[in-house]
Structure 1
Amino acid sequence: MEAPATAYCFRPCQLDAPFQCLVTNKPRGSSGKFSGQLAHRRPRVMGFRELASHRFPPPKRRRQRGQSLSKAMMRPMGEIMIMVESLGEEYRVTFEVSEDVEYDINGNPTLTCNDLHLHWGMHREWLDEWMCLPDLPRGSKYNDDDPCKPATRTPLVRDGEGCSIVFRNGFPLRMSRTKFDVPAYFAPVEIDFALVEIEFGTDRVLAYDGPKGPDQWPSASFAVPIGMEKGHPEPLGASRAAPISNGPGYVNFALHSGCADKVTLFLQWCTGDGATPNTMEIALNPTVHRTGDVWHVALPVGIPGSILPLPASSASWEGGADPRINCPTVLYGYKCDGDPARGGWRFHPGMVMFDPRATCLLTPLGAFQDPFTRLPKFLGSLADVMNGGTQYQLAYDPGPNEKAVAGVRKLRQIPAQEIIYELSVADFTNHISADLGNVERGTYAGVLAKVDHIIQSGATTVLLQPIAASARRAIDDNWGAAPVSLFAPDPEMTTPHGGDGSYQVRQLVRGLQARGLDVLVHVVLTHLGEGTDASPESHSIRGIDAFSYYEMNSMGKVKSNPSVPGTAVLNLRSHVTRELIIDSLRHWRTGFGVDGFLVDTTEGITNLTGIAALLEAIALDAVLSGKTDSGGVSAAVEVARGNSTNKFLAGGGVRLYITPNDREVGQIQTWGILGERNSLFLRDISKFMEGSNGALRDFASRVCGSADLIKDCRSSSFGHVINSLTLSPHGKTLADTASDLAARAKVETTTGISHPRGLGEDVLGPSDFMKSRAPLRAMPPVPPTAVETNLMMRSLLTILFSADGIPLISAGDEYGHTRLGEGGAPNSWKSEINSFRWDALKCGTAGHAVHSFISALSAFRRRRADLFSSGGANVHWTVMDGYTSPKWDEYTAPCLLMCHRKAHSPHDRTGIKAADTTVPSQDAIIVFNGTRDLQSAEIGHPPDEFAWVRVVDTSLAFPSDCTLSYVELAGTKGSYLVSPHAVAIFELAPAPEGYLNPKDSQFVR
């Protein structure tokens, strides 16, 4: 594959001399010297076909001396045509300059005899230092009179000894030409040039003609790429410049940097033969390689004669201590420099920044040849760019029919069946008890090796905590809260010989989906971990274009996120930033195939300036806003009948959840695709279970999916509400939360009188203030026993799984992982405190009992999805007598509630409600006891031919606490005793053969 010949056309401006060569339409003066220069707008590159059919804009009408305006002549603009042709061992460069011909008042052409020369040189690394050929072209001289641009001067030879006039498109032109050869081993290189007019018979320079604009000659010049192309400003990042799925070709590099005056593309590669890695720098001439604020260039990769080899695929990469010498690898980055007065002090010409849109990041292959260039943390890789293609485009669901043929069946058919399992890749298999090799522990491959445990826990969806690349991951950013990239996964969690990070994440997502699991990913879209202006840690955007991407305060400093030290806040109002974020979400969807995202925010949603515009842009995006059929109640009935199929998930949309703070739940703009992680759920059910006064109303709302706050199409029935018992990764674990709650629920005073407490508050009666002595002082919370903590933990889990909304459990909740009372999770890399303890799940342990309990709750949730598909519309609340409505407004009402969940009425095949409405439906009753006393719940005896099945009773010992069993209720009203701080679930089911209904017995107990 050889590079084709390329033609370049530089459009001239009007000049004072008859020679008119360059770009703008500024009017001429009359001094006889050059007054026009090349315009600041970029020259246009045209191919042969375009040149042949190109029509120039109509020339300006201008008046000659002594001529009236009505007789003014129409004058064309001159131009420079440059053609670069590959001849194998060399490149032939041909310059053709056309000069407008002027006529005097008598109609005779006025031709100057001054000489035109091409003042040129070549550059690669430095724009300010030109190289020359070893053998100068015929007639050329090396000129070093100008200390700014010592260069080669090649004369332009005019046709017919300078007096020949040709007509092009009806206009008279005088042509001059030159050509020379550049050896192929110089490529990639650029020929920088300007045109110079020299007085005839002398060497006196009359004028230079170069670019016009902020950067004029001699600081700027025209450029002609040799062995590379000018590139295109879109798309940003590294992409193939031709529609070829894989193999050799051109790579287009495009970088947005509005305040950079100089941009250099930095390349490092190895050929795979064991040689020392090579490096190369290509300084981009803004005349050719800049369009607006975007710098761009296209380089050949893998083409015979090109320097850069074709990189091996992502699966072939081998890391570890051994450098990548066994397979070709090509890495790239950028150096930027600019005016310190315009924010350029954040640039550093000795630092290499990785591309903000690099989809795969790797550590450098080795030390650089330039000792003044600092070794960066990451560089972008071209492996996916050159070897990617349609095989990685996983954005669109192929549909239920194709999935059925392929044997892939989702574990979740409707939202009410969904159960999310949240995990940290580094901590999930980091502990030695994971029984994995040292290579796989704490990696993407390690998670895939434990997928059976995830499914056994009842999960239908896996939520990965942030896996975007973080420069501080192995130091103090275990949770990935301060990423430096929005596109690339973190290479710290890869196996040494399993491919690069992109490949291993792709394998993880595909492996989980092959087992029927959906995959969601935590993403941070509000800040990046590139330090502050006082303590910068430039890796990418900070050293490329901080003003376009980051928020600035009134002092011109980058704003920092106080909740995450060492981070810079992204400017969500900037179109460039929003485009970066949306493209990153698209890439995670199309390049990795994830099913959705949970956006992590540390300061809430409404406090983020520009978040509304970002959410609107996401909602309107063609890839991210595709609709997914959520099914609903009718779908839940079909699932209950055993007719579940993947037809309810046939859409191609992406699920997106956000994390508002307590005051913002339900208050975000009602974009149809947005869901919420309900931060009020844990707070309000904790108040109820510890017996706090006034907790009934909020508790009932949370169990009904927060229907009082989150309504309409964003309600829990559409799968847009996530409930969780932890605030992972930064909060306490479930076991530690249950322990604190159990301690607060049994506070004793100094006199032994029991007083229920709220969140750290003593409840004192009115008589306490009437006594002459000081009120009784409450003792500190008594540490709960293991049994009490276990009871509270199982009660919290039961409430979670019996509430409308999607239950979320964090890795470790299934065995009661504890951080030994730590207030928060340590952020150190692979901490022992955070590691998942697989030995705690062994048979006979307390962890195994909790795991079995969660599995039973998951099975009930998936089996009876019809009970949780109405967003709380099928719920009826009573007190313990089974028919009296609770006193919602009574502050001192005890924390006792019965929840009656009505099953969906049976339908015939036509969807019309059955005529016989007297047939009992399989309802469920859930009893919540948040007091310290044993309570009698009057559930009532079952209808004829039905029986009550106890699904869960958290007060019983394992395995009775989660074993399905028929129960006979006592008394005429069908009573059941519920222990303090316990929860019990009863389900109405067809009676077994020979079952005697207690209400028909002669002796009702």
Structure 2
Amino acid sequence: MLAGKPSPLGSTVDDGGVNFAIFSAHATQVVLCVFDQSGTKELAQYSLPQCTRQVWHGYLAGAQAGLCYGYRVYGPWEPELGHRFNPNKLLLDPYAKKLVGEVIEHPALYAYEPNGHDPKSLMLDLTMSDTDSAPFMTKCQVVDLNMAHLAPITALNTPLEQTIIYEMHVKGFSQLNPEISPHLRGSFSALGEPASIAYLQQLGITAVELLPVQAFLSEAFLTAKGLSNYWGYNSIGFFAPHSAYLNRGDIFEFREMVSKLHQAGIEVILDVVYNHTAEGNELGPSYSFRGIDNASYYRLNQANPRYYLNDTGCGNTLNLNHPQVLTLVMDSLRYWVQVMGVDGFRFDLATSLGREAYGFDKGAGFFDALAQDPVLSHVKLIAEPWDIGPGGYQLGNYPLAFSEWNDRFRDTMRRFWRGDIGLLPEFAHRFHGSSDLFEHSGRSPSASINFITSHDGFTLLDLLSYQDRHNLDNGEKNRDGHQENFSANYGVEGSTSDKNILACRARQQRNLLSCLLLSQGVPMLCAGDETGHSQQGNNNAYCQDNPLTWLDWQEFDQTLIGFVARLIEIRKAFPALCAQKFIHNSQSSTEPSFAWFSRQGEVMTKSHWSECHNKTLILVLSAPKEYPLQQTEANQPSSGELEPQQALLLMLNADDSAHEFAFPQLATLAPWQCLLSSETAANEDVDATAQYSLMPRSLGLFYGQIYQAGELN
């Protein structure tokens, strides 16, 4: 084996062979293991001959793309000092672009030898195992990344404030779609099929946010119960697409999917997990990082390095304070943008990525690295702004470049429509884009990613059908999943034939979806919420890879789909709903304006806002003519008249009683026109009168033209 080069890391093909390079600061020897094409038979071993600045490297002349390989890494077995080297364990290249074969759960995958020890013994993981793990391990495969034969992917660069996100699972979205060939269902290719794209376009989606698609594994405790990690938040390969989603076994299937979505005007955002890996805590398996250089890749307990810092709740935390680990993450992100063509990332448990030795810091090295990167500084960056470590909840505290999942929007909207008292001020803050959380630091409404539900928790229908979680199928005695969901069943737990309860749940679906898509900020719709999808009350379906989580295309609520499409159409037609900066009550006729009124049509005062039992509200959003919703000859002002502003008026009744609403006394050009009502799923246009009655738990959206923003004050 020749010396090769220390850069780039991973396996790199050229005309003469393949260069291999892998980082390990504490290894004493690194051995490249070559396997046959099936990845089952080990053919040869080559010791990497050179180590340059802690990067071990070698060049295998004559090797080609398709070669299967792994590593055995020698070094000290000293768990008490944080070192867990064991050359009996075959390890994955952190930079592998493709994995082949399956991981087979077996004691050999663990670097320590538990046999013969008391499972409760504190010494359980201190004896090194001498069993070869290669027969039970997935293998890396060399990929030629020469891009000459691939058509370029043009970025769409949809402004964030105009983005409508659809959070979805690659397999769950297409697995039961009868319009897609059975052999394609559940794959990246299925998402690029005309049937999938047509559906997303019908809704009006501008970006799909894919649950983890980087290579992930299932935990042993799940496989022992016949379950699997369906969601994928258990990553092991940050460059490799998850093999089960590849229809042909070609990693560029993912790229083809991105290209087709881009051609349809739909961006691709990846949910990425750089906070922890599938190796778990000190009793977990050795797949890659633990055996390559445990003390570098993971954050360890400084008082006792045998143990991991577990700010993620998943057993370990990646150490982004180490320059090589930070380099790994940055290289991975750039790879998915430059090679695979994606448009942005949602960072799982992002607070972990911003932790320095003293805690979370919005000026952490990872955030600074993103801000200065010429590629990554221009893509969409979304944070899940919490982890379980000290000071882990950081909503509103991320750098300018980030948007954040806004769980306060989620909880407020759920509680308001459930009928909780005293929520009018909080509702207004969230509907307004959460300026109290973001504006002070110079951020815009698009910093708030608004959602009612996500993959994690109840579906929208279940939120309105179940008071309690029903997670027994997960095999954890119903102890897993969120306890407080701000849900209600409206009279019956679960499914029912009661028409009144069904009608109430249908209105509540429309109420919550309306607030999601009419609020300031960036809306994120969870796949299936627009179809009436239920998981039978399971609010933690992370291990349910079966029809419980797959969207049933035969049972779609087409009426609800039409209602959501209408909402998105309105959002796109009235740009003030997608404002680039926070809208306040402007006196200028050239600026959009927000105004709040009581159901009596009076401007809201402090006493109105403090009426804790009041569950009704009116808001008016107006914008100058350059923010048109619709223009016809009939509603154009005559020559010499003041230029009217376009306006949306939203009436909200979260009470369990019907109420009469008075339209605010505004100078209107014509009667208010009803655009939609949650009382009915039909798209009806009706002229409003001086009074408008809203039944319990319902809303109405109206369009009109008013003459001056200042008249709202």
TM over 0.5: yes
Measure, in 2, the Cα distance between the counterparts of 1:944 and 1:890. Answer: 29
Q: Aligned letter for 2:563?
A: F
Residue 364 to residue 723, structure 1, CA distance change in 2 (3 Å) = closer
Percentage identity across paired residues of the two chains: 26
Q: Give the counterpart of 1:256 among 15, 18, 23.
A: 23
Q: Aligned letter for 1:939?
A: F
TM-score (norm 2): 0.80
Work out whether 1:464 is the aligned partner of 2:188.
Answer: no
Residue 456 to residue 706, structure 1, CA distance change in 2 (3 Å) = same
CA displacement at 1:981 relative to structure 2: 1.1
Residue 596 to residue 681, structure 1, CA distance change in 2 (3 Å) = same
Residue 916 to residue 584, structure 1, CA distance change in 2 (3 Å) = farther
SS at match of 2:92: coil
Q: Deviations over 1:248-300 (max 9, x none)?
A: 23432111111111110112244xxx999772210134xxx011311011222
Residue 543 to residue 605, structure 1, CA distance change in 2 (3 Å) = closer
Measure, in 2, the Cα distance between the counterparts of 1:365 and 1:693. Answer: 52
Q: Give the counterpart of 2:559 among 846, 849, 855.
A: 849
Cα root mean square deviation, aligned: 3.5
Q: State whether residues 519 and 577 of structure 2, in contact with CA within 8 Å, keep that contact through their aligned partners in structure 1.
A: no
CA displacement at 1:341 relative to structure 2: 3.8
Work out whether 1:710 is the aligned partner of 2:405.
Answer: no
Measure, in 2, the Cα distance between the counterparts of 1:952 and 1:968. Answer: 12
Q: Aligned letter for 1:720?
A: A
SS at match of 1:858: helix
Q: Deviations over 1:770-821 (max 9, x none)?
A: xxxxxxxxx9965581111111111001111110011111111111111122
Work out whether 1:738 is the aligned partner of 2:499.
Answer: no
Name the structure 1 match of 2:88: 350
Measure, in 1, the Cα distance between the counterparts of 2:620 and 2:103. Answer: 64
SS at match of 2:270: strand
Q: Give the counterpart of 1:268 among 13, 25, 35.
A: 35
Residue 713 to residue 365, structure 1, CA distance change in 2 (3 Å) = closer
Name the structure 1 match of 2:396: 667
Work out whether 1:598 is the aligned partner of 2:346.
Answer: yes
Name the structure 1 match of 2:45: 281
Q: Deviations over 1:468-494 (max 9, x none)?
A: 111218852111111112221110122
Measure, in 1, the Cα distance between the counterparts of 2:642 and 2:158. Answer: 30
Name the structure 2 match of 1:512: 261
Name the structure 2 match of 1:299: 60
Measure, in 1, the Cα distance between the counterparts of 2:208 and 2:504. Answer: 30
Residue 414 to residue 235, structure 1, CA distance change in 2 (3 Å) = closer
TM-score (norm 1): 0.58
Q: Give the counterpart of 2:573 among 839, 859, 863.
A: 863
Measure, in 1, the Cα distance between the counterparts of 2:352 and 2:316. Answer: 16
SS at match of 1:946: coil
Residue 345 to residue 541, structure 1, CA distance change in 2 (3 Å) = same
Name the structure 2 match of 1:446: 190
Q: Aligned letter for 2:574?
A: R
Q: Aligned letter for 1:932?
A: D
Measure, in 2, the Cα distance between the counterparts of 1:907 and 1:812. Answer: 31
Measure, in 2, the Cα distance between the counterparts of 1:560 and 1:436. Answer: 45
Q: Deviations over 1:719-770 (max 9, x none)?
A: 33210111x3221111111335899xxxxxxxxxxxxxx99899xxxxxxxx
Residue 917 to residue 267, structure 1, CA distance change in 2 (3 Å) = farther
Q: Deviations over 1:617-667 (max 9, x none)?
A: 111112111xxxxxxxxxxxxxxxxxxxxxxxxxxx111010124984653
CA displacement at 1:905 relative to structure 2: 4.8
Q: Deviations over 1:930-966 (max 9, x none)?
A: 112212221258867534221111012x32xx33x14
Q: Aligned letter for 2:47?
A: A
Work out whether 1:524 is the aligned partner of 2:261.
Answer: no
Query: Aligned runs of 1:40-59 on 2, under 5 Å?
Result: none
CA displacement at 1:891 relative to structure 2: 5.0
Q: State whether residues 268 and 365 of structure 1, in contact with CA within 8 Å, keep that contact through their aligned partners in structure 2.
A: no
SS at match of 1:675: strand
Residue 391 to residue 558, structure 1, CA distance change in 2 (3 Å) = farther
Name the structure 2 match of 1:586: 334
CA displacement at 1:616 relative to structure 2: 1.6
SS at match of 2:623: coil
Measure, in 2, the Cα distance between the counterparts of 1:711 and 1:602. Answer: 21
Name the structure 1 match of 2:68: 331
Measure, in 2, the Cα distance between the counterparts of 1:704 and 1:897. Answer: 14
CA displacement at 1:702 relative to structure 2: 0.4
Measure, in 2, the Cα distance between the counterparts of 1:293 and 1:867. Answer: 52
Larger relative contact order, structure 1 or 2 (CA cutoff 8 Å, min sep 6)? 2
Q: State whether residues 794 and 954 of structure 1, in contact with CA within 8 Å, keep that contact through their aligned partners in structure 2.
A: yes
Q: Deviations over 1:85-115 (max 9, x none)?
A: xxxxxxxxxxxxxxxxxxxxxxxxxxxxxxx
Measure, in 2, the Cα distance between the counterparts of 1:364 and 1:692. Answer: 49
Name the structure 1 match of 2:543: 828
Name the structure 2 match of 1:429: 174
Name the structure 2 match of 1:379: 139
* Moved segments of 4+, more than 6 Å: 274-278, 602-608, 758-762
CA displacement at 1:693 relative to structure 2: 2.2
Q: Aligned letter for 1:284?
A: L
Measure, in 2, the Cα distance between the counterparts of 1:978 and 1:266. Answer: 71
CA displacement at 1:872 relative to structure 2: 3.4
SS at match of 2:697: coil
SS at match of 1:933: coil
Measure, in 2, the Cα distance between the counterparts of 1:607 and 1:365. Answer: 32
Query: Aligned runs of 1:112-511 on 2, under 5 Å?
Result: 228-240=1-13, 248-270=15-37, 279-285=43-49, 289-300=50-61, 306=62, 308=63, 310-311=64-65, 329-341=66-78, 346-363=84-101, 374-385=134-145, 387-388=146-147, 391=150, 397=155, 414-431=159-176, 433-449=177-193, 450-472=196-218, 475-495=227-247, 498-500=248-250, 502-511=251-260
SS at match of 1:375: helix
Segments of 5+ residues of structure 2 without an aligned counterpart are: 105-130, 470-483, 494-499, 585-592, 629-638, 707-713
Q: Aligned letter for 1:679?
A: D
SS at match of 2:135: coil
Q: Aligned letter for 1:667?
A: G
Q: Aligned letter for 1:881?
A: Q
Measure, in 1, the Cα distance between the counterparts of 2:667 and 2:32. Answer: 78
Q: State whether residues 74 and 87 of structure 2, in contact with CA within 8 Å, keep that contact through their aligned partners in structure 1.
A: yes
Name the structure 2 match of 1:545: 293
Residue 615 to residue 416, structure 1, CA distance change in 2 (3 Å) = closer
Segments of 5+ residues of structure 1 without an aligned counterpart are: 1-227, 242-247, 301-305, 312-328, 398-409, 626-652, 744-757, 763-778, 842-846, 909-914, 991-1005
Work out whether 1:805 is the aligned partner of 2:521.
Answer: yes
SS at match of 2:240: coil
Q: Which has the larger radius of gyration?
A: 1
Q: Give the counterpart of 1:614 among 366, 384, 389.
A: 366
Work out whether 1:879 is the aligned partner of 2:623.
Answer: no
Q: Give the counterpart of 1:897 among 617, 624, 629.
A: 617
Measure, in 1, the Cα distance between the counterparts of 2:486 and 2:341. Answer: 46
Name the structure 2 match of 1:656: 381
Q: Deviations over 1:387-407 (max 9, x none)?
A: 44584775x74xxxxxxxxxx
Measure, in 2, the Cα distance between the counterparts of 1:737 and 1:365. Answer: 36
